[in-house]
Every structure is written in C-alpha cells, then in structure tokens.
Amino acid sequence: MQKNYQEFLELLNQERKDECVIYIMELFNSGFSVKEVYEQYIIPSLAEYECNSDVEEICIWKEHTRTSIIRTILESSYPYLIKQKKEKINKSIIVACPQLEYHEIGAIINTNFFILEGFDAKYIGANTPSEQIISAVKILKPDYLALSITNYYNIVATKKLIETLKEDNKEIKVIIGGQATKNPLTIAQLKYDYILQSYEDIVMFKENLL
Ligand code: B12
C-alpha cells in the first residue's frame, strides 16, 4: 500500500496512537530509513502543528498528547537506528535541553542523528539544571556538549551555563541548535563553538572533523 504524510497526519490529529505507531513501523518495514521517517513524517508533524483552540490549557495538554505519541514512535525507531548507524568515529557528545527548556523532541531527534553518523551520543534530558549538565560533562568528559534551545527566554540561562562550564572545562566544545538559535542577534551573546540545525549540518560537521 502506498503511504503518504497526509494519512499519517490525519491519524495523529485524531490522536490515534496505536495506528500512528503501526503506520510508522510499516514505513520502516517497507524500507524507509530512520532519517527519511524523521524528516518526512515526524519533524513536520510537530513543526507545522497549530492548536485549533483559543484556550491555552487545552493547547498545552494537546501538545503533550501529540509529543507523547511522537516519543513512542522515536523509541520504537531505535532498533532500526542500530541497524542503520555508520561506523563509530570515536567522538562523544552529550545532548541536553537547558533548564526551563521543555521542548525536547528536537534534542532527541538530533541525538539519534549524531548516533546514525557514528558519534557516541547521549541525551541527558529536558529542563536539565545547569549543575547537572556541568556534572555530566565533568564525569563523562565528552568531546562536545550540544544544547537544544527553543524559547528565546532560555538564552540568558544558557549564556550563564556556557560561561560557568568553560571556566573549569576549557577543552569542552559547545554546540547550539534549535529554534531560539536561528536569530543571529539572540545568539550573539553566547560563547558557543558550533551552531548546527539539521542532519545535513551534522554530516558537514563530521566531515570537517575527519
Ligand atoms: C510540542 C510543543 C510543546 C510541548 C513540548 C513537549 C516536549 N516533550 O518536547 C509543550 C506542551 C511542553 C510546550 C510548551 C510550551 N511551548 Co511549545 N511548542 C510545541 C510545538 C507544537 C512543537 C515543538 C517540536 O517538538 N517541534 C519538532 C522539533 C523536531 O522541531 P524543533 O524543536 O524546531 O527542532 C528542529 C530544529 O530546530 C533542530 N534542532 C533543535 N534542537 C537542536 C539541537 C541540535 C544540537 C541540532 C543539531 C539541531 C537542533 O532540529 C530539529 C529538527 O529539524 C511548537 C510549534 C513549532 N512550530 O515548533 C510549540 C512552540 C515551540 N512552543 C511555544 C511556546 C510559546 C510554548 C510555551 C511557552 C507555551 C505556554 N504558554 O506554556 C511552553 C514553554 C515550555 C518551556 N518552558 O519550554 C512557541 C515558541 C515561541 C518562541 N520561539 O519562543 C512555539 C513555536 C509555538 C508557537 N507557534 O507559538 N510546547
């Protein structure tokens, strides 16, 4: 059966979780790659979402319901990701959302993109307090810390986090990404090393390392 994005979107809009998961699993089984499924189905289904209610509470729980379905799909994609990932490149990376940043799907997806490209990548969570991020860097000693920032008001906390982190961990390179990092004026105050936004950016970043 020929599948298309609109069909999946309809199931997701109706919050029919089981059918959404089955739909995506059938895509994988018919030969779609993890990258294709994420880019053609998962990312647009959230990025293009607009709540059709004027009541904020309704919008928030509906967004949670939607992301919960997407999270289940992302977890279910992991066995396919294991099969599709490239040779290891001996570079480690911790991915996190800074404190008060609850938008985490972009962080999870990009952790998986790094893994697909052979990085040893670990996602440590949404709304992660600065001291926990710093602790993870001290203990795990990754080559890179990647921060996913969606809301502009989290830039100030991110600025402080990067400054504190770099005081004691001079070697660490900081990558930033996410909607709040797309505006050059907003990020001018951040002491980051790299800015990446997509799978293609990750591929180019890797090519420059090798
Ligand atoms: C789902 C959602 C939520 C969920 C998130 C649940 C979860 N577990 O993640 C919940 C309900 C928690 C939520 C809450 C809020 N949300 Co909200 N939310 C969304 C929604 C619908 C989808 C976000 C998403 O997951 N997109 C899909 C991912 C894959 O896309 P992405 O995050 O942009 O990431 C992509 C790139 O940016 C990049 N990327 C991201 N990070 C990184 C990191 C690296 C290293 C790399 C390489 C790339 C990368 O790769 C991804 C793939 O392309 C958006 C709508 C939208 N248009 O984005 C609003 C949106 C992001 N939310 C918004 C707002 C305002 C809020 C609230 C303030 C609402 C409120 N009144 O409470 C709160 C704030 C919560 C907080 N403190 O963080 C605004 C943000 C406006 C702004 N720019 O400041 C948006 C844009 C809605 C809107 N049109 O107004 N939200």
Which residue's CA is the closest to the ligand 1 atom numbered 75? 102
The ligand 1 atom at the shortest distance from the C-alpha of residue 100 is 77
Spatial distance between the Cα atoms of 135 and 2, rounded to a whole number of angstroms: 48
Residue 50 confidence class, pLDDT cut points 50, 70, 90: confident
Q: Taking Cα atoms as reference points, which of 202, 198, 161 lies closest to residue 179?
A: 198
10 Å CB burial of residue 164 (0-12, 13-18, 19+) is middle
The atom of ligand 1 lying closest to the CA of 179 is 37
pLDDT at 99: 96
Residue 210 pLDDT class (50, 70, 90 cuts): confident
Decide: 107 in ligand 1 pocket, CB within 6 A.
Answer: yes
| C-beta 112 within 6 A of ligand 1 | no
Segment 111-153, tens digit of pLDDT: 999 999 999 999 999 999 999 999 999 999 999 999 999 999 9
Percentage of the chain beyond pLDDT 90 is: 90
- pLDDT > 70? residue 74: yes
Question: How much is the pTM?
Answer: 0.97
Question: Can you give 24-93 as a three-state secondary structure string?
Answer: HHHHHHCCCCHHHHHHHHHHHHHHCCCCCCCCHHHHHHHHHHHHHHHHHHHHHCHHHHHHHCCCCCCCEE
Which has more pLDDT, 2 or 58? 58
What's the CA-to-centroid distance between 50 and ligand 1, angstroms?
Answer: 12
Question: What tens digit of pLDDT does each residue of 2-43 get?
Answer: 679 999 999 999 999 999 999 999 999 999 999 999 999 999
Is residue 1's pLDDT more than 60? no
Q: How far is the CA of 178 from the centre of ligand 1 (A)?
A: 8
CA Rg, the chain, in Å? 18
Q: What local confidence, expressed as pLDDT, does residue 2 receive? A: 60
What is the arithmetic mean of pLDDT over 92-102? Answer: 97
What are the extents of the domains in the chain?
5-83, 86-209
Fold classification of 86-209 is: Rossmann fold (3.40.50)
For ligand 1, what atom is nearest to the CA of residue 146?
45
Which of residues 55 and 79 earns the better pLDDT score?
79
